[in-house]
């Protein structure tokens, strides 16, 4: 398999804090690689090192087969586009005029700008000023900035943060077009795991600066289990009953939990009633990306 990005025991230390702890990751060519991890897991630190905004403390990485200590790394980085932080737009300019400024800054031709605007769904914005764009339109314009250099690899840090449902759909469809129609490999970090699950072809699960598992979307689908999702008035009592039954389960809130051990519903309901734990609803569901991640790392904190 060909890889666009590979890291080997990459470390980044700030004083006594290890933002990256021997992180090893492999991003296949042509994939949409989703990085899954809690706040502070090291996702943004990794992105900043790959894009040259920070240096690693130790370890190495290769981009398009070129190692980070090779003088050619600057050259191959030109084949990479990135949106690491909120892009600096010219609010009084149109989408196209914003991109023209970007081409001037990079010293490249502006002949493909109409194609880029069409690709990101901004071809019909005309002279509309960027300050009047919706948040989703501004996000897509930011991604258009990263496409000006005709990249083969796109790196996105939280590209759908703060978007409304329509904006999320627009960005999702755009990224899928970039991947399928242009063959662009995409590395994406997002806290919205349900949305990431609609996009990613591969995953890297990161915890405390270390990749604990990598897998394809097909492998994830096989690994995710069927669960009995229950809504009760008291999951503390539910836990007590399930512990007594030796069942495997995961609690999400004071009212919701997934039970992974197959069991008869009637005996479970009767046992809960004896503890004054009453069932509001039950349904069978497939384990989600978020649930799978929590099973890997434990806990219910935000990711």
CATH number of the CATH domain containing 271:
3.30.70.100
Residues 73 and 146 reside in one and the same domain:
yes
71 in any annotated domain: yes
| Sign of the torsion angle spanned by Cα atoms 260, 261, 264, 270 | negative
pLDDT of residue 158: 87
pLDDT of residue 161: 80
Tally of structural domains, the chain: 2
What span, in angstroms and rounded, lies between the C-alpha atoms of 157 and 83?
Answer: 6
Domain boundary residue, one of 172, 192, 218: 218
If one counts every other C-beta atom within 10 angstroms of the C-beta of residue 75, the result is 11
Backbone angles phi and psi of 210, in degrees to 5 = -135, 135
pLDDT of residue 2: 94
User: Can you list the residues of the chain whose pLDDT is less than 50?
Assistant: 300-303
Residues 127 and 267 reside in one and the same domain:
no
For residue 78, what are the domain limits?
3-218
pLDDT of residue 302: 40
Residues 122 and 242 reside in one and the same domain:
no
Residue 240, SS3 per DSSP: helix
46 in any annotated domain: yes
What span, in angstroms and rounded, lies between the C-alpha atoms of 285 and 232?
Answer: 16
pLDDT of residue 301: 40
Which residue carries 């890997």 as its tokens? 296
For the stretch 78-113, pLDDT in tens is 999 998 876 778 999 999 999 999 888 888 888 889
Residues 214 and 233 reside in one and the same domain:
no
24 in any annotated domain: yes
What span, in angstroms and rounded, lies between the C-alpha atoms of 232 and 234?
Answer: 6
Residues 107 and 256 reside in one and the same domain:
no
């Amino acid at each position: 398999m060909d890889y666009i990005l590979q890291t080997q025991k990459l470390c980044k230390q700030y004083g006594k804090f290890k933002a990256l702890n021997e992180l090893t990751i492999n991003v296949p060519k042509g994939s949409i690689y989703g990085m899954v991890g809690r706040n502070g897991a090291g996702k943004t630190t990794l992105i900043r090192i790959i894009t040259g905004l920070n240096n690693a403390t130790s370890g190495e990485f290769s981009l398009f087969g070129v190692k980070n200590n090779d003088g050619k790394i600057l050259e191959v980085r030109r084949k990479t586009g990135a949106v690491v932080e909120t892009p600096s737009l010219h609010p009084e300019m149109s989408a196209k005029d914003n991109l023209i400024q970007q081409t001037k800054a990079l010293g490249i031709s502006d002949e493909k700008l109409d194609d880029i605007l069409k690709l990101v769904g901004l071809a019909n914005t005309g002279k509309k000023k960027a300050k009047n764009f919706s948040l989703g339109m501004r996000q897509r314009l930011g991604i258009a900035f990263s496409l000006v250099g005709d990249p083969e690899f796109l790196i996105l840090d939280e590209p759908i943060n703060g978007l409304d449902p329509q904006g999320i759909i627009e960005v999702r469809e755009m990224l899928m077009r970039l991947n399928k129609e242009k063959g662009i490999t995409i590395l994406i970090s997002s806290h919205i795991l349900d949305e990431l699950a609609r996009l990613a072809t591969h995953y890297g699960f990161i915890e405390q600066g270390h990749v604990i598992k990598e897998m394809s979307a097909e492998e994830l689908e096989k690994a995710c289990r069927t669960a009995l999702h229950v809504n009760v008035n008291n999951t503390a009592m539910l836990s007590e009953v399930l512990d007594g039954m030796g069942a495997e389960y995961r609690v999400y809130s004071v009212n919701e939990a997934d039970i992974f051990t197959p069991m008869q519903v009637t005996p479970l309901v009767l046992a809960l009633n004896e503890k004054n734990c009453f069932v509001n609803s039950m349904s069978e569901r497939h384990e989600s990306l978020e649930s799978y991640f929590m099973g890997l790392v434990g806990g219910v904190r935000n990711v």
